Amino acid sequence: MASKTYTPQTHNGMSIVGLLLLLIPIFILILWISTFSSNPSASQEEKVKIFSSYFPTFLRKTSSISIIILASAAGSILFSVAGRKRANRIFKVIGIFVIIVAALVLLLQLFSML
């Protein structure tokens, strides 16, 4: 069996996948903030219903949205760590940024699940 060699482009691609996976929880959190700030007179329950209405029916539970955020942020960290090994200099910097932001998103989501 021939051994595979991994080029910097492969590792750059893994860093890009990590960045794309980070966009999912960032967009969900931005949607959460914009929904709550655009409906100041609504009660908490109404705001949660409005927020949930943006998702398909199988994702309308807050627990499934939380799992998506956790899985995306964790996957983002894993891909960025794996991609940093032999990536170009710019992608190493992007990888560090992605790891830091994804860790903060993970902590925020875990705190909100308490």
Any idea where the domains of the chain sit in the sequence?
10-32+55-112
Give the pLDDT of residue 54.
92
Give the pLDDT of residue 1.
54
Give the pLDDT of residue 97.
94
In whole angstroms, what is the distance from residue 7 CA to residue 29 CA? 35
Q: Give pLDDT tens digits along the chain (114 positions).
A: 556 665 666 778 888 999 999 999 999 999 999 999 998 898 989 999 999 999 999 888 889 999 999 999 999 999 999 888 878 888 889 999 999 999 999 999 999 888
Give the pLDDT of residue 7.
63
pTM of the full structure: 0.85
Give the pLDDT of residue 71.
96
Give the pLDDT of residue 87.
81
